[in-house]
Amino acid sequence: MHQYKGKLIIHTGSMFSGKTSNLENDIKRFKIAGYKTVAFKPILDTRHTTSEIVTHDKAILEAIPVKDIDEIIKYLNEYKPDVVGIDEVQFLDGDVEKILEGINGFLANGITVILAGLDMDFSGHPFEIVKELMPLADYLYKHHAVCVKCGTDAWVSHRKTKETARVVIGASKEYEPLCRKCFLEEREKEQEK
């Protein structure tokens, strides 16, 4: 019993690739196996806090909204779970070193950590925290959505709007998963306009 101690499991990939679904499924399985679990989600906008992680196909997991790793540390010190899930890890506030230190601390204390997060932003640049965490994983899963243009495995989340800020919260109205070839074609078209 309780063989998973201090393991780092990462679900990454583009939007719609199933990162959150896999996080939810892992948490569900750990719960069934008798582990004490808890899930967190970063809040970028403190005015809209909700206590649910919702997948694109509307599966729901209860989660605690947090701003940064310090809030997670505080909670874990009191609650003492076996397994911790963090969705949208790329949106945790604070510098990368501090987040890494926090997560390494959980692992060193025997807590299993399941992370879901985007590997790249809309322009194909890595999200720094995910880039740093990936080599540390015990289990690293790169998931693929279906490219909406050609039906092959998608690689990146293409932004359909003209917004240039790195963080623009949205779903299928604002983003579409594309393979590398279709992404480069879209980018060329956009530059010609």
Residues flagged as binding site for Zn(2+): 147, 150, 179, 182
Compute the distance between CA of residue 92 and CA of residue 89 in angstroms, rounded to an integer: 6
12 binds, among ligand ADP, ligand LXEULUCI, Zn ion, none (CB under 5 to 8 A by kind): none
| CA-based radius of gyration for the chain | 17
Compute the distance between CA of residue 175 and CA of residue 153 in angstroms, rounded to an integer: 16
Considering 88, 97, 128, 176, which one is annotated as catalytic?
88
Is 88 tagged catalytic? Answer: yes
DSSP β-bridge partners for residue 116? 11
Q: Please, which residue, 21 or 112, has the CB nearer to ligand ADP?
A: 21
121 binds, among ligand LXEULUCI, ligand ADP, Zn ion, none (CB under 5 to 8 A by kind): ligand LXEULUCI
Site for ligand ADP, rule CB under 6 A: 15-21, 55-57, 145-146, 148, 177
H-helix or E-strand containing 91? none
Q: Does 145 bind Zn ion (CB under 5 A)?
A: no
Compute the distance between CA of residue 167 and CA of residue 190 in angstroms, rounded to an integer: 20
Q: Please, which residue, 7 or 149, has the CB nearer to ligand ADP?
A: 149
Compute the distance between CA of residue 53 and CA of residue 38 in angstroms, rounded to an integer: 12
Supply the residues annotated as catalytic: 88
